[in-house]
Amino acid sequence: MDIYERVRTAVGRVVDSGAHLNAAKASETIAKKLGLSESMVQYTHVELRNVVYEPEYKQVPFNKRVLFLPHCARHSKKCIATSNGEGFECKGCGACNINDAIKIAKKLGYKKVFIVPGGSMVKKLLVKYRPKASVGVCCFDEAQLAFDMLKRTSIIPQVVLLLRDGCKDTMINIPLLEEKLNLINPKLIKNTKKKTTRKTKKKKKL
Ligand code: SF4
């Protein structure tokens, strides 16, 4: 079991126990038990907040979700992305792993993927596109702000922390992001497939 799985198991146990601990206290408790590094303590804290929304998040179809990626994950010297008024448009040069994240979300059918410079742009885009759920990749401080901002709305938040944070050349944790993007009630996928098949048959008749 890798360290992420161990933390998630510990988070699950805390939640199942029904203990009324806040996320900061609970992550401290888990950190002590597992001997976690600072970055894993932050991961634990974020997972404790993610887990609260997870049941609702799983009920949101992919096409009603948006993904926000941080512009600081672009390669600071080689990036050829252009600004389009809604953040940056990746040209897929492959110098950073933003392109991999976009491909995963698009393949699943996410409504929109944005590469954004900060929280004010995120707010503007949420108001414009009105998704039912929002997945954000960001640093720990921004994650707290995002959870606090979205708890006053009906949008379901999920956060994936950066693998390497800072102001530039940060790095997205692709395996963890992929897991988070894929989290869904399997019935929703079956229903979507059934609907698509029915539509295709109808078209053929015409
Ligand atoms: S993959 Fe996209 S975001 Fe990353 S450096 Fe290339 S153009 Fe920029």
pLDDT number for residue 31: 86
* Highest-scoring range by mean pLDDT, 5-9, 77-81, 185-189: 77-81
Higher pLDDT pick, 28 / 179 = 179
Strand 133-138 to 156-161 pairing: parallel
pLDDT surpasses 90 at 14: no
pLDDT, residue 206, reads 41
Which atom of ligand 1 is nearest to 75's Cα? 5
Please report the pLDDT score of residue 20 as a whole number: 62
Q: Which two tokens stand for residue 7?
A: 């933390």
118 beta partners: none
**93 C-beta closer than 6 A to ligand 1:** yes
Find the mean pLDDT for residues 132-151. 95
Q: Report the separation in Å between the CA atom of 79 and the middle of ligand 1, taken as the mean of its atom positions.
A: 5
Taking the C-alpha atoms of residue 26 and residue 122, their distance in angstroms, rounded to an integer, is 29
What is the side-by-side strand order in the sheet with 65-70? 82-83, 88-89, 112-116, 65-70, 133-138, 156-161
Six-digit token pair at 14?
């805390």
| Nearest-CA residue for atom 6 of ligand 1 | 93
Tens digits of per-residue pLDDT, 15-49? 777 766 688 888 888 888 889 998 899 999 999 99
- Would you say the CB of residue 101 lies under 6 angstroms from ligand 1? no
Ligand 1 lined by 91 (C-beta under 6 Å): yes
Question: Does the Cβ of 97 fall within 6 Å of ligand 1?
Answer: no
Q: What is the pLDDT of residue 1?
A: 63
User: What is the predicted pLDDT for the residue at 149?
Assistant: 92
Cβ–Cβ under 8 Å, residues 169 and 145: no
Q: What is the mean pLDDT of residues 100-122?
A: 96
